[in-house]
Amino acid sequence: MHHPHPLPAFIFDVDLDGFEERVIAASHSAPVIVDFWADWCPPCRALTPVLERVATTLGGQLRLAKVEVDEGANMKLAGRYGLKGFPTVLLFMDGEIKGRFSGARAEHWVRDFLAEHGAA
């Protein structure tokens, strides 16, 4: 997915190798939402920009990690967390999954989800 402008540092792509450090360990200092997406999936392409907008608006108090499930070993991550379809979003706080949702959602829905879980 091409971005006309660089994304802030708290929005990043992550793979199986970096997951432990950049998501699980990092979630002890700030909530991390993980966007499991695929290029062939229209709802994924709809959701990712929504998540990027929400994270950008929150100014880094929330991190957004994007996992492209078609890349290399990333499907193992999807398997580890029992993901059935995409997009699926997992919310990590203090090293644990605190919430999840699937499918494209509106920005206000995502904000409510984060607020409910104390992540925003």
Query: Which positions are annotated as active-site residues?
Result: 41, 44
pLDDT one-digit tens code per residue, 2-59: 555 678 899 999 999 999 999 999 999 999 999 999 999 999 999 999 999 999 999 8
pLDDT single digits (tens) 80-119: 999 989 999 999 999 999 999 999 999 999 999 999 999 9
Per-position b or e across 4-28, b if 16+ CB within 10 A of its CB: eeeeeebbeebbeeebeebbbebbe
Distance CA 97, CA 43 (A): 22
Tallying the residues shown for the chain, one arrives at 120
Is residue 89 within 8 Å of residue 36, measured between CB atoms?
yes
Helix (H) or strand (E) holding 68: strand 63-68
Query: What is the domain partition of the chain in residue ranges?
Result: 11-116
Architecture of domain 11-116: 3-Layer(aba) Sandwich (3.40)
pLDDT at position 72 is: 82
Question: What's the CA gap between 38 and 28, in Å, rounded?
Answer: 27
How far apart, in whole angstroms, are the C-alpha atoms of residue 75 and residue 10? 23
- pTM for this entry: 0.93
The pLDDT, as a whole number, for residue 5 is 67
